[in-house]
Amino acid sequence: MPPSQPSRAPVYPKGYPSPPAANQRPPTRGCLIWRVRSACIGQTPLIIGAVSLAAPESKGPLLRERLRTARLYFVCDARPHGEDPEALLLAALGGGVDIVQLREKELSRAEVERAASTYRRVCDTYSALFIVNDDPELARACDADGVHVGKHAEVAAARELLGPDAIVGLSTHGPEELDAANPLPVDYVAVGPIWETPTKPGRPAIGLEPISYAAAHSAHPFFGIGGVDPGNAAQVTAAGAERLCVVRAIHEAADPRAAAEALRQGVAPGG
């Protein structure tokens, strides 16, 4: 998508119904969405099964193609500002976000699963990737596209549980960890925190030099993360990053869609 046109409209895959009105949400069971179609056999509906609203081919190669063209990644909690996440997700994705990660450290499993069903549905609407933080089992249960783990030692177990089609991401914090990530079966790495951030208390800032190192040496697509906002994103891209990952820049923005648009304009178009 060209930088001059960062925002986008929802995408409804061919052969799938448009999303219901706000007051007509489909019933859910856990994190899976149940589609019900009326059959021409009397008036008895047929339950087709528990599926994502993503197109059937949205696995493996298609997920990695979406990752390849992704430029803006948003990490969000299950109840942003104590509210349902849908409005914030719609604003972020409408502003140009390509990947959304559900990262929740405090709420119960049931509350996280309820939020995950919203994440899945909204991401499907925009053909965006949906990633779960740190919990491969939750990612599988909620039909997420993948998981993001924080330690190199966690990669193998995540890949084994989720299989070859899933997206697996990894946090790195400098050249040594980047080098160690190169041979691992991950699909992308995050590099940071570039600046100190309250979302990672106690983790020192690494600055921009590791971004330049990643641009020259990373075997995987990488996202610059940590204190990135519309005011400093140009520094990150100047250091070599083609992809950005943010939390507060959208989460805390007075106008989340405008913040997403500003960030998306600052990175290279997908392609």
| Residues labelled as active-site residues | 103, 171, 200
* DSSP summary character for residue 198: T
3-state helix, strand, coil in the chain (%, to 5): 35, 20, 50
Give yes or no for a contact between 170 and 155, defined as CB atoms under 8 angstroms apart. yes
Give yes or no for a contact between 260 and 233, defined as CB atoms under 8 angstroms apart. no
Give 53: exposed, middle or buried? Use CB within 10 Å, 0-12, 13-18, 19+. buried
Choose among 194, 188, 189, 229: nearest CA to 209.
194
